[in-house]
Amino acid sequence: MSKPAAFAPASRQSGLLGLRSVSLRFALVYGTLFVCSAVLFLSFIWWGTVGLLEHRVEQAITTDSRALFNIWSEGGPTGLTMIIDDRLEQDIDDNALYLLVNKDNKWVAGNLAEWPRQITINDHWFTMPVKRSYTEDMAKVRAYALPNGYRLLIGRDISGRTLLRKIVTDTLLWACVMVTLLAIGGGWLVRRLFRHVIHSISRTTQAITHGDMSRRMPVQGSDDELDEIAITINEMLERISRLMDGVRQVSNAIAHDLRTPITRARTQLEDAALHAKNEDELRAAIEQAVGNLDNVTSICEALLRIAQIESGARRSAFVLFDLIPALQDVCELYEAVAEEHGLRFVQHLPDHLPFFGDRAMFQQAVANLLDNAIKFSPPHGTITLSAKVLSTARRTDGSRGKRLRLSVTDEGIGMSEADMARASERFFRAEQARNTPGSGLGLSLVQAIVQLHDGKLQLASNTPGLITRIEIPLPDAETVPAQSRAAHP
Amino acid sequence: MPALPSPKPVVITSDSVAFCLRLSRVIESYHNGALPRAVSQLREEGTDLCRHGLVRPGLIRLRRAIVSLKRTTP
């Protein structure tokens, strides 16, 4: 008890600051980034305008000084005085400032009344106040030393530029304030949105944790990323629900389908133990019980096989082989069975069909389909097995490839649309097939095998009868692993 | 940039009526014959403005007159 109490103040403190909240951290990062980018951008504008103005003034004064130095070297103080007078007479911008003084600091030429006391160093930039008729302005000046103790001051009145600089600075400062306010507002909105999404996910997942599998994330319909997340989570929940329902159904079905033969076997053994008159009767009862228990074993084996196939572990046994001989082996077996049932068995198979997969497993799938077709066909009916190669399958990368379409068609009792939709579920048996022997796992096994081969299992009505269709993409030479090709050329 | 020890402003002598009149005299003495009409008009306007206390607009007109004279006179 003492430890949590000791940690409590620190935890509460960070809680008060709100920094434990992801949404607040997100909003702070957003706001900081926004303000930093804006300040950087506005600083660039400031230097680009105000800095440029300063630079242009300095450049004008420097250029002017070079020209006046040339005049001094040619005409001395007289020539320079004339040029300064000339420049002041033609200074339409009315911003030029000149002052030439002698070694005694006496005025020689220019438009400044006296040498500014504060300018004691040559070749340095100064900003100083100047007085006009009615106003006081600012000027940027630079002093130059001339031969014989003369000194020259060149400057520009920068009041206009100072005003512009103030306007630009004020505007940018206000822009900074506005941007900060926008960043705070944006951060608040981002935080709200983020919290809304997180809370929505949190509420839904909490409800699911408490067993309410019917809860779903709200979809706003704006088709944005948040909707995408909500749809994905909802799809995930749908799938989990379906899987849980499936597990529940399978558990019920296993319990039901295993109980019947076990109960039957128990009853037979009990009856034999109580009422068998001789050894033959006892033996017959034991054989019947063994038959029922074999049925239980076969159901368990089928379930394990489906689970193993669905786990994808069997893909390691995939090789490249010719499918036609494999199909012919199965046909040979079922031709005899069909004949026994008075059925006609027709095959439409190409000469060769290179296939990449598990040979034994695929034979098992085809055998299950033929077995079903024979079981549900009336006498004198026709069962057709056909395989053809289609070349219109579009792969995930957009390219077109080949695919195998294998169909088993019968003229039996068929299935309703609702039954077809559930036919591949484990232990599902259509109502009209209740009296036919079977465990309801045959098509589940076929479905698992087809999915392992990246294919699709489809059922369609043949009026009368059923068409069971398998479509599986056929391999290109480059998609088949090298060792599989080497082992089975 | 060094800080200025004293903020006492220095007077600009070219921003005065006396400088206006000086420019007016420069224009007058610049040409031996009659002044071009535009120059003469600028001079008159500039001098009038300076006399009425509008020194800077007056100076601008007088300076324009001088620039115009320099441009047209070889």
DSSP-based three-state secondary structure for A1: coil
Do the Cβ atoms of A124 and B2 come within 8 Å?
yes
Q: What is the pLDDT of residue A322?
A: 92
Indicate whether A323 and A400 sit together in one domain: yes
A7 lies in some domain: no
Which CATH number do you get for residue A235?
1.10.287
DSSP-based three-state secondary structure for A221: coil
Strand pairing of A400-409 and A456-461?
unpaired
- Residues of A with Cβ-Cβ distance to B64 under 8 angstroms: 92
* Distance between CA atoms of residues A348 and A247, nearest Å: 39
A8 lies in some domain: no
Indicate whether A302 and A319 sit together in one domain: no
Indicate whether A273 and A410 sit together in one domain: no
* Distance between CA atoms of residues B72 and A132, nearest Å: 32
* Distance between CA atoms of residues A349 and A351, nearest Å: 7
Structure tokens at B35: 């002044």
Structure tokens at A236: 């995930």
A263 lies in some domain: yes
Do the Cβ atoms of B11 and A124 come within 8 Å?
no
- Kind and range of the H or E element at A348? strand A344-348
Q: What is the pLDDT of residue A394?
A: 57
In A114-153, the residues whose Cβ lies within 8 Å of chain B are 114, 116-118, 121, 124-133, 136
DSSP-based three-state secondary structure for A446: helix
Q: What is the pLDDT of residue A93?
A: 86
Of A90, A111, A157, Cβ closest to residue B13: A111
A3 lies in some domain: no
Strands of the A151-157 sheet, one edge to the other: A107-110, A96-101, A151-157, A136-145, A125-131, B10-11
Structure tokens at A129: 């106040």
Residue B38 has pLDDT above 80, yes or no: yes
* Distance between CA atoms of residues A459 and A423, nearest Å: 9
Residue type, A160: G
- Residue identified by tokens 């043949």 is A462
A198 lies in some domain: yes
Q: What 8-state DSSP symbol labels residue A368? A: H
Checking A210-216 for CB contacts under 8 A at 24+ apart, the result is A213/A237, A213/A240, A213/A241, A213/A244
Give, for all 489 residues of chain A, the pLDDT tens digit. 334 444 444 444 444 455 667 777 888 888 888 888 888 888 888 888 888 888 889 999 999 999 999 999 988 999 999 999 999 998 888 889 999 999 888 999 999 989 998 888 999 999 899 988 778 888 999 999 999 899 999 999 888 887 888 888 888 889 889 888 988 888 888 888 888 878 877 888 888 788 787 888 778 787 887 788 888 888 888 888 888 887 787 777 777 777 877 888 888 888 888 888 888 888 888 888 888 888 788 778 877 777 777 776 667 778 889 999 999 999 998 998 999 989 999 999 999 999 998 888 899 899 999 998 998 888 889 999 999 998 765 555 556 678 899 999 999 888 888 888 888 777 777 766 666 677 778 888 898 889 888 899 999 988 888 999 999 988 775 566 655 554 444
* Distance between CA atoms of residues A484 and A336, nearest Å: 34
Of B8, B15, B67, Cβ closest to residue A132: B15
Structure tokens at A97: 């400032």
* Distance between CA atoms of residues A176 and A467, nearest Å: 73
Residue after which a domain boundary falls, among A213, A246, A266: A213
Q: What is the pLDDT of residue B42?
A: 92
- Residue identified by tokens 């048996």 is A429
A397 lies in some domain: yes
Quick one: which of A405, A422, A411 has its CA closest to A463?
A411
Which CATH number do you get for residue A390?
3.30.565.10
Indicate whether A300 and A320 sit together in one domain: no
- Residues of B with Cβ-Cβ distance to A130 under 8 angstroms: 9-12
* Distance between CA atoms of residues B15 and A483, nearest Å: 99
Indicate whether A378 and A477 sit together in one domain: yes
Structural domains in chain A (count): 3
Of A88, A89, A131, Cβ closest to residue B11: A131
The domain limits of chain B are 34-74
- φ and ψ at A119, to 5 degrees? -95, 95
Angle at A217 between CA A422 and CA A240, to 5 degrees: 35
Chain centre distance of CA A143 = 67
A5 lies in some domain: no
Indicate whether A27 and A173 sit together in one domain: yes
